[in-house]
């Protein structure tokens, strides 16, 4: 199997990106952080983000979801488990199984089911999670909101798996008093 590298624009000493199936919980810090789910495909020796047409522009980074967590390790463990379960159910022909739906804990996995993105995405192998650790939960939450605000301003709508995000979520901060982390900003337009 050929080595897969992440595009230089997605690399950072502090921004870590890993394919969803390759997430190992022991490698993820227990600290607060921000995470971004990207839709990617394998190019020649590297992962290439899928372009996603949005209302105002095309998202060249393939961002599907932006989130934050008090405990990044447990959130990404749940995310991986839930999304893997969704694709397993899809391959088994039982996507709308009641038992499966009861065990889904992450809204991104629910949205993949209800929007039928599971068919479009094809496999959890096409999902990459980038994350960055912050000093405290408040900083992580602020960076998530700033990133959602910037994304929505660039593309006219929130990322596809953040459809539940309302104006009250991203409009209640004084953006002029805060700056989006440069590593996270590098993923946006």
Model pLDDT for residues 15-61, shown as the tens digit of each residue: 999 999 999 999 999 999 999 999 999 888 899 999 999 999 999 99
Confirm if 17 and 130 have CB atoms less than 8 A apart.
Answer: yes
Q: What percent of the chain has pLDDT over 70?
A: 86
Going by C-alpha positions, the residue among 1, 45, 44, 38 that lies closest to residue 20 is: 38
* CA-to-CA dists, residue 125 to 140, 157, 170, angstroms: 27, 26, 30
**Could you tell me the pTM of the whole model?**
0.86
Element (H, E) at 184: helix 182-185
In 36-136, which residue ranges form alpha helices assigned H by DSSP? 72-91, 98-103, 107-114, 117-121
The pLDDT of residue 1 is: 33
Phi, psi of 165 (to 5 degrees): -75, 125
How far apart are the C-alpha atoms of 31 and 111, rounded to whole Å? 26
Per-residue pLDDT band for 9 (boundaries 50, 70, 90) equals: very low
> Bigger pLDDT: 12 or 186?
186
Across 33-42, 99-108, 155-164, least confident range: 99-108
Using the structure block, give the residue that is written with the tokens 């982390």: 181
CB 93 within 8 A of CB 175: no
Q: What is the mean pLDDT of residues 144-158?
A: 92
Is 18 in contact with 79 (CB distance < 8 Å)? Answer: no
Rounded to the nearest integer, the mean pLDDT of the chain is 85
Residue 117 pLDDT > 60, yes or no?
yes
Q: 104 and 82 in contact (C-beta within 8 Å)?
A: yes
- What was the pLDDT predicted at 33? 96
């Amino acid at each position: 199997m050929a080595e897969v590298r992440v595009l230089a624009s997605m690399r950072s000493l502090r921004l870590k990106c890993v394919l969803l199936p390759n997430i190992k919980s022991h490698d993820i810090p227990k600290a607060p952080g921000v995470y971004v789910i990207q839709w990617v495909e394998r190019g020649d020796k590297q992962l290439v983000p899928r372009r996603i047409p949005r209302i105002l522009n095309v998202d060249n980074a393939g961002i599907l979801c932006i989130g934050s967590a008090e405990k990044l390790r447990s959130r990404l463990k749940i995310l991986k488990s839930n999304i893997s379960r969704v694709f397993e159910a899809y391959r088994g022909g039982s996507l709308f199984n009641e038992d499966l739906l009861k065990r889904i804990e992450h809204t991104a996995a629910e949205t993949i089911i209800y929007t039928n993105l599971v068919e479009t995405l094809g496999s959890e192998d096409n999902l990459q999670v980038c994350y960055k650790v912050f000093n405290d939960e408040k900083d992580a939450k602020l960076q998530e909101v700033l990133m959602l605000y910037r994304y929505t301003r660039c593309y006219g709508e929130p990322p596809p798996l953040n459809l539940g995000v309302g104006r009250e979520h991203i409009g209640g901060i004084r953006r002029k008093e805060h700056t989006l982390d440069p590593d996270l900003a590098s993923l946006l337009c």
